[in-house]
Structure 1
Amino acid sequence: MVGLALAVGLGGCSGGDEPAGLETTPPPATTAATTPPSTDEQDAAAIREVYTGYWGALIDSENGPDPDPALFDGIATGAVVEEQMARVANMVDEQQRRIGEPEIGEVQVSVDGDDATAEACVDQRPWGVVVQEQTQPPLEVAPGPVGVRLQREGDGWLIVARIPVAEATISC
């Protein structure tokens, strides 16, 4: 009985005999206002991408080891690349290479016009060392800050220097 009354009640509401002027129209579509990212946000994102690329190049160069400066093209320049190539050449001479990769924490970015810094806490313990094909015991180093200085080059950023640990603005 209740089902019949409900069906009749619903049936009465679904008829096409609505009085004039009571047509229902769907509510206007609302679109979420999208605010484009600010220049600072765009710069910070680009800098984080360069910092991530830098670590990718470091890992590739030391895991190879591969003393190819082209790994750093569009990422780093000058003494940063030269020092890494010297380090990797020394690794080759001493029959060393790295295995795995470090754990890199959240990248902190600071932008001041065309200059910037990027820093993150890095745990190098998972990044092993092999010497003359013998895997060495894990490094016993605490996670620490690794920072770089960047400069705007055209519409992108390049790493131009490493920040000494004593000058880091983050603590791990």
Structure 2
Amino acid sequence: MMLPRLPLRRVLAATCAVLVVGSTTACGSQDEPADPPTVATASPTEAAPTDEDAVADLVDRYYDALIVSQTEPTSDPALFEGIAKGSFVEIDLKNAAEYEEMGLRRVGRPAVGDPEITVRGTSATAIVCWDERGWGAETESGPVDLPQVKPARHVLTVEETDGTWLITDQKGIRGAC
């Protein structure tokens, strides 16, 4: 079988093309890897904190302050500054002062559930499950038996003024968790 004759120009052009491509790749340094291709990736943007986030943080800080007031114990009102104000805070501080006088302090930590938060404009309600069953007490003499308290739901009223949220009321206990 006879192969078709290709014009000399085509053969030379193809040969030159192969030689040019081969020589340019052979000239590259073997030690330096080629730059990886640039790939555009979207960087995650942090979402601005919501009012619900701010209220949840405030509720966490309130319960932290309440727990510290009874585990230290300390009746220092500075614990609640920028967090809560109202007659319920005065009761919390009075309880802490009584613990100080008796030489009693709480040990361990109560279980505090995640708050259920409802925000309406500049007002919010946070409902929290509060469980003291794992929160003991002691004096210098040793452990103190406390009455067993069932878990309960605390209802907190939260108000926003000038961009700052503050707990303004604790409506007591509403049913079990």
Counterpart for residue 105 of structure 2: 97
Quick check: 1:79 aligned with 2:87?
yes
- What is the aligned length? 147
Quick check: 1:148 aligned with 2:161?
no
Letter in structure 1 aligned against 2:113: G
* 3-state secondary structure, aligned to 2:98: helix
Letter in structure 1 aligned against 2:104: Q
- What TM-score, normalized to structure 2? 0.70
Letter in structure 2 aligned against 1:86: K
Quick check: 1:31 aligned with 2:28?
no
Q: Deviations over 1:68-104 (max 9, x none)?
A: 0001011011213211111222222333221111111
Superposition map of 1:3-22 within 5 A: 16=25
Where do 5+ consecutive residues of structure 1 fail to align? 1-14, 18-24
The counterpart of 1:44, out of the listed 52, 74, 82, is 52
Identity, % of aligned pairs?
31
- Stretch moving more, 75-84 or 55-64: 75-84
Q: Which has the larger radius of gyration?
A: 2
**What's the RMSD between the two structures over aligned residues?**
2.8
Counterpart for residue 56 of structure 1: 64
Counterpart for residue 13 of structure 2: none
Superposition map of 1:91-130 within 5 A: 91-130=99-138
Tell me the distance in 2 between the aligned counterparts of 1:141 and 1:57: 20
Q: Deviations over 1:123-165 (max 9, x none)?
A: 2111112256331246533322123111102222111110221
Q: Does the Cα contact within 8 Å between 1:80 and 1:162 map onto a contact in 2? A: yes
* 3-state secondary structure, aligned to 2:40: coil
Letter in structure 1 aligned against 2:168: V
Letter in structure 2 aligned against 1:36: A
> Which of structure 1's runs of 4+ aligned residues deviate more than 6 A?
none
Where do 5+ consecutive residues of structure 2 fail to align? 1-23, 27-35
* 3-state secondary structure, aligned to 1:164: strand
Letter in structure 2 aligned against 1:29: A
